[in-house]
Amino acid sequence: MRKIITLFLIIFSIVTNAQNDFFSNNRIILSLKKEINEPVTNLNQIKKLKFLFNDYPINTIKPLDIARTNVLNGRPVLVIFNNPINIETIIQKLKDTNLFDYVEPDFISFGSGKKDESYISYDIRFIPTLTTIPNDQFFFRQWGLHNNGSFTLSPSLVDADVDMIEAWDITTGSPNIKMAVIDTGVRMNHPEFSGRFFSNSSETINGLDDDGNGYVDDINGWDFVNNDNNPTDDQGHGTNVTGIAMANANNNIGYAGVDWNCKLLPIKVLDFNNSGFNSNIIASIYYSIDRNVDLISISIGSSGFSTAYQNAVNQAYSLNIPIIACMMNFNNNTSYYPAAFNNTIAVGSTNPNDNRTVPFFWSSTSGSNYGNHIDVVAPGNYIYGLSHTSNSGYETYWGGTSQATPLVSGIVSLMLSLNPNLTVDQINIILRNTAEDQIGNPIEDTFGWDQYYGAGRVNAFNALSQVQSLSNEDIIYNEDIKIYPNPVKEILNFKSSVNPYSFSISIHDITGRLVKDYHKVNNSIDVSQLKNGVYILNIDYDKNKIIKKFIKE
């Protein structure tokens, strides 16, 4: 069986390493130019596009964002054809019409972690004093959180960890923070996730789309693979990475997640083969934004550049929603997305001895990717975790930048629990400034930032300590202007030391589309005519620009 698995991994590595043109043969993503004179609600109404419907039978046309409007102009739109077609040909034909901002393939993405179910027993437990130690049964295996040098599956170095138990003395997280994990889904009934799901109070199980976001009965998340409200994991990757970030702690079973209290929005975009369409990932980012999450963890990668994907990432960034993403595992400097986008936090992997992971345990040719876009590294090899098929199976370990990424996501979640007003850039700067530098192979890990380790291996205690020490002068909190109530049904009020009459206010939907303008407002504005959803409030006054989010119910 092990030989078969090894052969599969070798084949998988070859295929995914050559995936620069690995995309669907019956799907494309496009965006109509906003400058088109008429609002377009159906592509078939444009004469120049008649050939698209006459020559290529179409199964589905659907927007990937959540704008609560039928108008398609300026939005990312997925087109699914009934049959395989020549993607390059149809893309060129559509580009020649000069009607689109972009037309592109729907690239395939893959989860970047692999697992091994073998288990070598070791039970050397060292319990330090004066720190927060969870009572979880197998916490002693979690070398990435606390490494006492006793880990036996790989050469291990004392303190080659993220100083997690010291960090827990500062905080173990807040239920007010909401993390979306975009992956293969999770084991929904696992006790390690009990009480942790972020519930959509605007939906009830009635077969209707109560909140008008395009997803029926999405109480606890969404499955974009099967288009239903049950994001159950049928592969294992998602349950593992989610557990690393946020498994319940101090419950005498299993493992301890980095954040013990944050809420989870599980989103399934990868199938049982650990692969999926970029279009589903793009849609899931807009979905996460609409659900008002605080951060997004993505342990997935694709080498195909996508403008639609980049726009979705940029939209999250503009709303101060950090996206933490994996570098991938091919031991090269190829750009994989979303990690290679400018506005994500890109994470590589280290071993129990603090060296960059080369190779991972599952393939001699694997290794943590490197390059100019890497930000930090974190423990990512031989990472024990939760099972997607059992509530009591804890013998599986994984390896990949997939496993390093949710560890960093958990730390970011803890940072936000201390200060929810941190911007993406501030979070990235703090992670970099507090990382431990020159801890690995000196040939690669040079002083300061380098392409192999980024700024270094993250240190949770240092990061949280810096967040604690920040003063009002260090960070602009935008708290001088408060908006309430939020969520709001009709009247949105302002509270500020600045006279609101000097405000110029614009409201945009989550795609960036302007929906309303106000000038010289009083102490409130009427938003009752807006459709339900998440909106961006831009406030301009005295050469300052402040961005707020609000939810219209």
pLDDT tens-digit profile, the chain (553 residues): 233 333 333 333 333 333 345 899 999 999 999 888 789 999 999 999 999 999 999 999 999 999 889 999 999 999 999 999 999 999 999 999 999 999 999 999 999 888 875 544 433 333 343 467 899 999 999 999 999 999 999 999 999 999 999 999 999 999 999 999 999 999 999 999 999 999 999 999 999 999 999 999 999 999 999 999 999 999 999 999 999 999 999 999 999 999 999 999 999 999 999 999 999 999 999 999 999 999 999 999 999 999 999 999 999 999 999 999 999 999 999 999 999 999 999 999 999 999 999 999 999 999 999 999 999 999 999 999 999 999 999 999 999 999 999 999 999 999 999 999 999 999 999 999 999 999 999 999 998 899 999 999 999 999 999 999 875 444 444 445 778 888 888 999 887 766 656 678 888 887 667 888 887 777 888 999 998 888 888 887 665 667 777 888 8
Contacts of 174 (CB under 8 A, 6+ apart): 261, 262, 416, 417
Rounded-to-integer distance, Cα 172 and Cα 258, Å: 8
Positive or negative: CA dihedral 194, 195, 197, 201: positive
What pTM was computed for the model? 0.87
Rounded-to-integer distance, Cα 93 and Cα 212, Å: 34
Of the candidates 153, 413, 435, the one whose C-alpha atom is nearest the C-alpha of residue 261 is: 413
Rounded-to-integer distance, Cα 297 and Cα 438, Å: 26
The CA-atom distances, in angstroms, between 487 and each of 91, 158, 464, 492, 533 are 41, 48, 29, 9, 9
Positive or negative: CA dihedral 5, 360, 324, 393: positive
277's enclosing H/E stretch is strand 275-277
**Cβ distance 457 to 354 under 8 Å?**
yes
Beta-sheet strands, E only, within 313-423: 323-326, 345-350, 376-379, 383-384, 397-400
Rounded-to-integer distance, Cα 157 and Cα 263, Å: 33
Contacts of 20 (CB under 8 A, 6+ apart): 303, 304
Six-digit token string for 17: 């390493």
The torsion angles phi and psi of 415, rounded to 5 degrees, stand at -60, -45
SS (H, E, C) 66-107: CCCCCCCCCCCEEEEECCCCCHHHHHHHHHHCCCEEEEEEEE
Active site residues: 183, 237, 402
Q: Omega of the bond prior to 487 within 30 degrees of 0, cis?
A: yes
